[in-house]
Amino acid sequence: MNTPVTASFSDLGLAAAIVESLTALGYEEPTPIQQAAIPPLLAGRDILGQAATGTGKTAAFALPLLQRLSPDAPAPSQPAILVLVPTRELAMQVAEAFHKYGRAIGAMVVPIYGGQAFDQQIRALRRGVHVVVATPGRALDHLRRKTLDLTALKAVVLDEADEMLDMGFAEEIEGILDAVPPTRQAALFSATLPPRIAAIAERHLSDPARIQIAREPSTGKLPSVRQTAYVVARAHKVAALGRILDLEAPTLALIFCRTRTEVDALAETLASRGYRAEALHGGMTQEQRDRVMKKTRTGGVDLLVATDVAARGLDIEQISHVVNFNVPDSPATYVHRIGRTGRAGREGVAITLAEPREHRMLRNIEQLTRRKVEVAQLPTVLDVRARRLEITRATLRETILAGESDGFRVVVESLADEFDLMDIAMASVQIAHGALAGDDGADGVEIPIAVAAAERSRPDRERAPRASKPRGRTTGMTRIYVGAGRKQNLRPTDLVGAITNEARVDARSIGTIEISERFSLVEVPDDLVDGVIRALRGGTIKGKKLTVRRDMATSR
């Protein structure tokens, strides 16, 4: 079956409620596998699909099958959809996707897999569920215990079928498929179609629509790009990215995210940590896009966070780094992305943050590019410090070679009567290093703490009432109370901007920011707190005079 031309999600026949959910999630256009699979699945046909990992298969089957559920219908005692996957990690991922896509129609989803208590899973199944996402072994165990009833099943999906067979689940799969109603719809997806997969399809699929999403060939010679991947848990990605950026010190980094929502959230978080970051996605007006691009081309942006759609046609030669905040949906997308760096004979850098379950997707990328993607260890605090010292050394060397320092000779000569020249030089380097590195106090922050700080500043995160829970204090920092929060549309970037502009404090000196419903808390160095409070009281934040004082919950 040929892949159709580019279409929107609504063009594929999806219901308005589901399309609205996708729009809210920031999805802009369907991938090739989604364009090919959604219409026949909506029409009730069986599907035999061949596509590599990471091409968007989950949405390709989840969206049309969810549409078969009645909106806001009570969860039935027997599930309507069963999805079989090879691993617990994939079970959780697919269940989460079904939950997000089906939130608008009230879909109830339960993942069941080995390693989790049976009692917990049984209780969830008894409460009623529309969709069950399961590993084959645990699904068969529930069938044998009669705690999973498939008699009312409308659809069954085998995802990553070749991997399930490689893991020895052939008998379990056959046992499960023999237990489902013969009238159910079936979809089988696999990266390869060996004889064993073809035999399962022959026995259990009825006149399936055959879909093959071929690997896109590499187009031309890849630019000179150093390719590195870091394996990072999802919860630690933001903090890991900050440390990597500190190590790499990019001239301009183009950071790719999957959705508009993710782009906005990441750009705001990076800006709140002192980076000059801007967002770029399809939800922006042309005027907003032009403003961002003008700012980028004139050197006013360090990090440009974008979706693939928004970055089409982007031609900025000074991009030194391309960062994949997630492993791209397809190897071809990866190639297109990294082609934006390493131009004009310069070496570019491509960095990918991969979750532990995405190793296989990295192998697919290596096969297409015919280049090894180095899986590196996350930089340590010492690595970052060493890199900053190297930048300082290189800057000093360039200054010396430029021969433009004679105007400062009189300072050195006057100090030389009192101090050793080596002591003078070391003090000078210390001052230069502090200026170049921003003299920030974040070097010693461990990643889990930094992640917690970023998570606490998320606008959708509910916080406990201020008086109900005393907050700890980061060593060397004092927390300031600001009398505005989410209700007043206050963002971390507003606080950072006010402190840097009014108090003349370097943004990298600002610590954790917490935005609650009606107030906010921000950490600043102990020795700067009084000056910051005076400056903020004398100025405005978002055009308003606000209450600013030390946070009583943590002040000494």
Q: Which of 257, 353, 351, 270 is nearest to 307 (CA)?
A: 257
Same domain, 203 and 183: yes
Residue 449 lies in a domain: no
Same domain, 374 and 407: no
Same domain, 408 and 463: no
- The chain-wide mean pLDDT, for the chain, equals 81
Residue 546 has what pLDDT? Answer: 85
Same domain, 348 and 263: yes
Tokens coding 285:
């007006």
Residue 168 scores a pLDDT above 70: yes
Same domain, 317 and 256: yes
Residue 285 lies in a domain: yes
Among residues 331, 351, 379, the one where a domain terminates is 379
What domain range includes position 430?
Answer: 382-437
Residue 461: which pLDDT band, with cuts at 50, 70 and 90? very low
Average pLDDT over residues 107-117: 89
Q: Which of 534, 541, 532 is nearest to 511 (CA)?
A: 532
Of the given ranges (31-45, 76-90, 251-265, 497-511), which has the lowest mean pLDDT? Answer: 497-511
Residue 344 has what pLDDT? Answer: 55
- Structural contact between residues 295 and 313, judged by C-beta atoms closer than 8 angstroms: no
Same domain, 463 and 416: no
- Residue of higher predicted confidence among 216 and 12: 12
CA atoms within 13 A on the CB side of 545: 3
Among residues 350, 379, 408, the one where a domain terminates is 379
- Residue of higher predicted confidence among 214 and 493: 493
CATH of the domain at 24: 3.40.50.300
Residue 520 has what pLDDT? Answer: 87
Separation CA 133–CA 157 (nearest Å): 9
Q: Which of 267, 265, 257 is nearest to 337 (CA)?
A: 257
Residue 54 has what pLDDT? Answer: 58
Residue 556 lies in a domain: no
Residue 52 has what pLDDT? Answer: 64
pLDDT tens column, 171-220: 999 999 999 999 999 999 988 888 889 999 999 999 999 998 865 544 44
pLDDT tens column, 56-76: 788 999 999 999 886 555 667
Residue 223 has what pLDDT? Answer: 54
Average pLDDT over residues 288-311: 85
Residue 506: which pLDDT band, with cuts at 50, 70 and 90? confident
Residue 343 has what pLDDT? Answer: 64
- Residue of higher predicted confidence among 285 and 79: 79
Same domain, 372 and 258: yes
Specify the number of domains making up the chain.
4
Same domain, 323 and 362: yes
pTM of the shown model: 0.48
- Residue of higher predicted confidence among 333 and 50: 50
Same domain, 256 and 184: no
Please enumerate in sequence order all residues whose Cβ is within 8 A of that of 435, keeping only pairs 6 or more positions apart, or say none. none
Residue 469 has what pLDDT? Answer: 44
Same domain, 242 and 354: yes
Residue 367: which pLDDT band, with cuts at 50, 70 and 90? confident
Same domain, 75 and 180: yes
Beta strands in 169-311 (DSSP E): 185-190, 209-212, 225-231, 253-256, 277-280, 303-306
